[in-house]
Amino acid sequence: MPNISTIRKQCAQLISIGIEGKSLTHEEKSWLAKDWVGGVTLFHRNIESLEQVIALNKEIFSCASLDHPVIMSVDQEGGRVARLRGIMTDTPPMGLLQRNVQQNILNLRKEDEPKANEEFWRKLGALMGRELTALGFHMNFAPILDVNSNRNNPVIGQRSFHHDPKIVARIGAAFIRGQQSSGVAAVGKHFPGHGDTSSDSHFELPKVDHPLSRLKEVEWPPFQSAIEAGVAAMMTAHLIAPHLDSNIATVSKTILQTHLRESLGFEGCIISDDLGMKALSNTYSLEESACLAIAAGVDHLLVCNPPYNLESILDALVRAVENGDIAQERFHEALNRNNTLKKRYVGAPAAPDLAQARTICRNDVHLRLLAEATRVDLRNPEERRSQNSPDISPVYDT
């Protein structure tokens, strides 16, 4: 077995962290220099302007080892979950945007509508991918593949494309193809499906109380379609699906291995939602969650909100690998999937270029695509505000 220092660096490749502010702290620089970080995720608290984001991503790049480059990620779904609002081309919530697109292609022959709809979403995914790449990001935690089947759902709502699983499946796959064609890994979320819940996993543990037959009919077709489209990663949901397993999905071998891997055939990287969310942290410590999730089949962990003790989390993972709580085969599967993800979407790492980002982000071609779909000129502040809904304002930072 490799020595502890090597195992620690390997464990670190399975973790993306959130950082405190708009530049790195001394401690965060030290973590990067010691290869204790596999990725960095930026949130509202880290973002001020295009110039500042470029400077921060350059700083992270300069501190990280070239032998173990970090994967840079962000939550840029559109609508209320848009960390780069005003920096990238803004979009309404996906559900509202899909209605606008549908209304604006109704003059087509009915048999042409699905193709035109999918083509818009492919173009939008490619647009977002180009802008994210220019800013220095490699992975976007989008699209939402949850079906909006519960009007009382407090956390999904219009973040979802639609209430019809067939429509979510088609346009979700188109978005994935577009985004990944621009070099940004797409992350389908939240498996096994967060659409029909009545509580928010940021604050409590939701339940999806449906039998397997219903999940296969409603919740899972978008995930299956995403897999067929070659989605790079899937994100877990911190929820209970009692007809599948008594464990929370993120730490359930049955849900992740038996259903997502074996039944649906997913071979990419499984990413946890933030381990600090109350749905999980009310039951487990960060250290416990990290070990249980990797053992169950998660390949990459999100630890998003400081303060947290990264050294303690790494210590716990090292112990779990050494004592067999995380099997060697499982550990190396996770490492290999992370390496595959980085090889494709990080490659030979390069710092972002400010001039290029200014040229690509919010350019007229991109704004015109959104204007044609919404019949709103997003360059006009008054018209842009008319697209706002309660879903557009940032409400939390995970």
Give the tens place of pLDDT for each residue, 279-310.
999 999 999 999 999 999 999 999 999 999 99
**pLDDT tens sequence across 254-264:** 999 999 999 99
Coil, helix or strand at residue 273: strand
Distance in angstroms (rounded) separating the CA atoms of residues 67 and 220: 38
What's residue 1's pLDDT? 65
Local confidence band at 196 (pLDDT 50, 70, 90 cut-offs): confident
Domains and CATH numbers, the chain: 4-377 (3.20.20.300)
Catalytic choice (162, 190, 202, 300): 202
Measure Cα distances from 285 to 187, 223, 253 in Å.
25, 29, 19
Burial of residue 274 (number of CB atoms within 10 Å: 0-12, 13-18, 19+): buried
Local confidence band at 105 (pLDDT 50, 70, 90 cut-offs): low
Which of 146, 180, 158 lies closest to 273 in space, CA to CA?
146
Vertex 84, ends 18 and 301: CA angle to 5°?
A: 30
For 255, residues 6+ apart whose C-beta sits below 8 A from its C-beta are: 191, 192, 241, 244, 245, 247, 249
DSSP 122-146: HHHHHHHHHHHHHHT--EE---B--
Query: Phi/psi of residue 78, each to 5°?
Result: 105, 160
Distance in angstroms (rounded) separating the CA atoms of residues 94 and 158: 6
Asked about 202 being catalytic, the answer comes back as yes
Query: Are the beta carbons of 245 and 252 closer than 8 angstroms?
Result: yes
Coil, helix or strand at residue 186: strand
Catalytic choice (196, 200, 273, 299): 273
Mean pLDDT, the chain, whole residue set: 91
Asked about 238 being catalytic, the answer comes back as no
Query: Are the beta carbons of 249 and 192 closer than 8 angstroms?
Result: yes
Q: Structure tokens of 134?
A: 């220019």
DSSP 184-246: -EEEEEEET--TT-SS-TTTS--B----HHHIIIIISHHHHHHHHTT-SEEEE---B-TTT-S
Amino acid at 294: I
What's residue 389's pLDDT? 44
Query: Are the beta carbons of 308 and 287 closer than 8 angstroms?
Result: no
For 323, residues 6+ apart whose C-beta sits below 8 A from its C-beta are: none
**pLDDT tens sequence across 314-352:** 999 999 999 999 999 999 999 999 999 999 999 988 899
Residue 376 has pLDDT above 70, yes or no: no
Distance in angstroms (rounded) separating the CA atoms of residues 370 and 387: 11
Query: Phi/psi of residue 13, each to 5°?
Result: -70, -15
What's residue 116's pLDDT? 80
Query: Are the beta carbons of 286 and 303 closer than 8 angstroms?
Result: yes
**pLDDT tens sequence across 145-179:** 999 988 888 888 889 999 999 999 999 999 999 99
User: What number of CA atoms fall less than 13 Å from residue 101's CA on the CB side?
Assistant: 26
Local confidence band at 106 (pLDDT 50, 70, 90 cut-offs): low
Residue 7 has pLDDT above 90, yes or no: yes
Which of 283, 281, 282, 331 lies closest to 308 in space, CA to CA?
281
